[in-house]
Homo-oligomer: A and B are copies of this chain.
Amino acid sequence: MARLVLKFGGTSVANLDRIRASALHVKREVEAGHDVAVVVSAMSGKTNELVGWCREASPLHDAREYDAVVASGEQVTAGLMAIVLQSMGITARSWQGWQVPILTSDQHGSARVLGIDGAELIRRFDERKEVAVIAGFQGIHAESGRITTLGRGGSDTSAVVIAAALKADRCDIYTDVDGVYTTDPRVVAKARRMDRVAFEEMLEMASLGAKVLQVRSVEAAMVHRIKVFVRSSFDDPAAPASGTLICAEEDIMEQQIVTGIAFSRDEAQITLRGVSDHPGVAAAIFGPLADAAINVDMIIQVVSDDTTTTDMTFTVPTADYERARLIIEGARAAIGFGSLQGANDVVKVSAIGIGMRSHAGVAARAFKALADKGINIRAITTSEIKFSVLIDAAYTELAVRTLHTLYGLDRA
């Protein structure tokens, strides 16, 4: 017997038919003798509708009221899931964030979970095998007694931190895909579903563009060492297919050097030519961007021919590209540069793998392979377990496929 948290996303609870299909997965685990907590998202589309109403009510709405409004989506699904489970003969009840309680900070709209009291839920597991159906995405700020939400995609985070509080053996994230792939299968037909992936790798993949899990939920899983199993609610509940287990490195028998290729189109490049090379110039560039809450990613500085100036290249999110250009132009006097060049038809392609730590020359092989295909690399960043290259967007598919094959990730 194990203790499991099962989380169902919006497409898995989109309507009563989908809720029933998802409930059959819960039933299977209950009948196998496990203690089960279920975490649900809002029906797909509902959160957008509620957010839309808040915006319509006022563009500058009170985040506390926004939270009260949007948290209602998960409340509805939790109640409906409990009703459906009961109709299948399973003892179940719904819990809203404030009922558990799931205590959070008061950063309304993006609250952090501070603590969860799982004692009553565990008592009910022990006493009557009652399934706890918990509304995801929401909590309560203890001092004010007001509802909070964890931000978009927060239900994944809810599930992981609830699993930690309940000391669950595993957290199953049911979604509309059957696991985490070596890369986006829409780009690379030979992409493979991974059986296992290490927390650190998943964190990089989520950060670098893989959309299957929220970054925060992977962080929480890593911190609390909660095994997360990504799987499909569209499987036959009687004979579910497998998924991808996100787990500690030591739980993975044979670690590949590179486990996945991620890419993000949400990148724009800005290059400053002829930047006068004096102390404090980096602060003069990046200070105003930070003040404007623009997240700068890759930064490359190259000494130019003229030794008194350098070239500086960095990337920002596509949505912030125009704003960033204006800010930099506005700070031209303070910075001192020759010309500003920019491009937002660029893409960041990344290779991730814990095995890189112990293998030299992994990135170098990629640079050569990309060069052989005539792909120009605009910028490079590396960390212990990943490297990223910034290239022209037109080469996205070619680059991803090239690296996928290069590192032996193609399905046989």
Chain A interfacial positions (CB closer than 8 Å to B): 16, 19, 50, 53-54, 56-58, 60-62, 64-66, 68-69, 71-73, 75-76, 78-80, 82-84, 86-87, 93-94, 96, 98-99, 145-147
The residue that A83 contacts in the complex, of B61, B73, B79, B94, with Cβ under 8 A, is: B61
B94 touches A80 (CB 8 A): no
Closest approach, in angstroms, between the C-beta of A307 and any C-beta of chain B?
57
B94 touches A68 (CB 8 A): yes
A96 to B98, CA, bound (A): 12
In the complex, which residue of chain B has the Cβ closest to the Cβ of A98? B98
Closest approach, in angstroms, between the C-beta of A63 and any C-beta of chain B?
10
A99 touches B145 (CB 8 A): yes
On whether A54 and B80 interact (CB within 8 A), knowing A64-B93, A98-B98, the answer reads: yes
A291 to B96, CA, bound (A): 37
Closest approach, in angstroms, between the C-beta of A118 and any C-beta of chain B?
16
Note all chain B residues with C-beta closer than 8 A to A72. Answer: 72-73, 75-76
A68 to B50, CA, bound (A): 18
A76 touches B80 (CB 8 A): no
Closest approach, in angstroms, between the C-beta of A62 and any C-beta of chain B?
6
Closest approach, in angstroms, between the C-beta of A46 and any C-beta of chain B?
10
B58 touches A69 (CB 8 A): no
In the complex, which residue of chain B has the Cβ closest to the Cβ of A133? B65
Total copies of the chain: 2
Note all chain B residues with C-beta closer than 8 A to A57. Answer: 16, 19, 80, 83-84, 87
The residue that A65 contacts in the complex, of B66, B71, B83, B145, with Cβ under 8 A, is: B83
Query: Which of A83, A86, A98, A99 has most B Cβ within 10 Å?
Result: A83
Note all chain B residues with C-beta closer than 8 A to A76. Answer: 50, 53, 69, 72
Note all chain B residues with C-beta closer than 8 A to A145. Answer: 99
A19 to B56, CA, bound (A): 11
Note all chain B residues with C-beta closer than 8 A to A75. Answer: 68-69, 71-72, 75
A86 touches B58 (CB 8 A): yes
B78 touches A94 (CB 8 A): no
Query: Which of A73, A79, A82 has most B Cβ within 10 Å?
Result: A79
Note all chain B residues with C-beta closer than 8 A to A62. Answer: 82-83, 86, 93
A86 to B60, CA, bound (A): 10
Note all chain B residues with C-beta closer than 8 A to A82. Answer: 62, 65, 68
Closest approach, in angstroms, between the C-beta of A302 and any C-beta of chain B?
49
Query: Which of A73, A78, A93 has most B Cβ within 10 Å?
Result: A93
In the complex, which residue of chain B has the Cβ closest to the Cβ of A135? B68
Note all chain B residues with C-beta closer than 8 A to A60. Answer: 87
In the complex, which residue of chain B has the Cβ closest to the Cβ of A80? B57
Query: Which of A57, A60, A61, A87 has most B Cβ within 10 Å?
Result: A57
Note all chain B residues with C-beta closer than 8 A to A66. Answer: 79, 83
In the complex, which residue of chain B has the Cβ closest to the Cβ of A71? B75
A57 to B54, CA, bound (A): 28
In the complex, which residue of chain B has the Cβ closest to the Cβ of A87? B58
The residue that A58 contacts in the complex, of B61, B68, B84, B147, with Cβ under 8 A, is: B84
On whether A79 and B93 interact (CB within 8 A), knowing A60-B87, A62-B86, A72-B72, the answer reads: no
A53 touches B16 (CB 8 A): yes
A62 to B89, CA, bound (A): 12
A401 to B54, CA, bound (A): 48
